[in-house]
Amino acid sequence: MNKKDIIALVEGRLTNERKQEVVKWLLKNPKQQQRYHILKAKHVAKSLKQSEYGNSSSPKRIYAKWYKYVGYAACAVLIFSLAYTLMLPANQTEIQDSPQITSVTSIGENKTIVLSDGTKVTLNANTTLSYPKEFSGELREVSLKGEAFFDVSHNPKKPFMVATGNGMKIQVLGTVFNVKSYPEDLNVETTLVSGKVKVVEERDQKTVVLNPSQRATYVKDADKLIVDNVQTENFTAWRQGKLIYDETPIRQVISDLKRKYKVDISVESPGIMDYKYTGEFDNLGIEQILDLFEVSSPILYQMKNNQITLYMKK
Domain residue spans of the chain: 3-92, 100-233, 241-312
Q: For residue 93, what pLDDT band results from cuts at 50, 70 and 90?
A: very low
Q: What is the pLDDT of residues 141-159, one digit of tens each?
A: 999 999 999 999 999 889 9
- Tell me if domain 100-233 and domain 241-312 are identical in fold: no
What CA–CA distances, in Å, run from 34 to 28, 43, 48?
Answer: 12, 14, 21
Of 30-44, 152-166, 171-185, 199-213, give the lowest mean pLDDT range.
30-44
The answer on pLDDT for 191 being more than 80 is yes
Rounded to whole angstroms, the Cα distance separating 69 from 138 reads 38
Rounded to whole angstroms, the Cα distance separating 97 from 112 reads 24
- Say if domain 100-233 classifies as CATH 2.60.120.1440: yes
CA 98 from chain centre, in angstroms, equals 21
Of 42-51, 156-165, 295-304, give the lowest mean pLDDT range.
42-51
Q: For residue 72, what pLDDT band results from cuts at 50, 70 and 90?
A: very low
**CA dihedral angle for residue 83, residue 86, residue 89, residue 91, rounded to 10 degrees:** 120
When pLDDT is averaged across residues 158-170 and rounded to a whole number, the result is: 90
Rounded to whole angstroms, the Cα distance separating 280 from 73 reads 64
- Say if domain 241-312 classifies as CATH 3.40.228.10: no
Q: For residue 287, what pLDDT band results from cuts at 50, 70 and 90?
A: very high
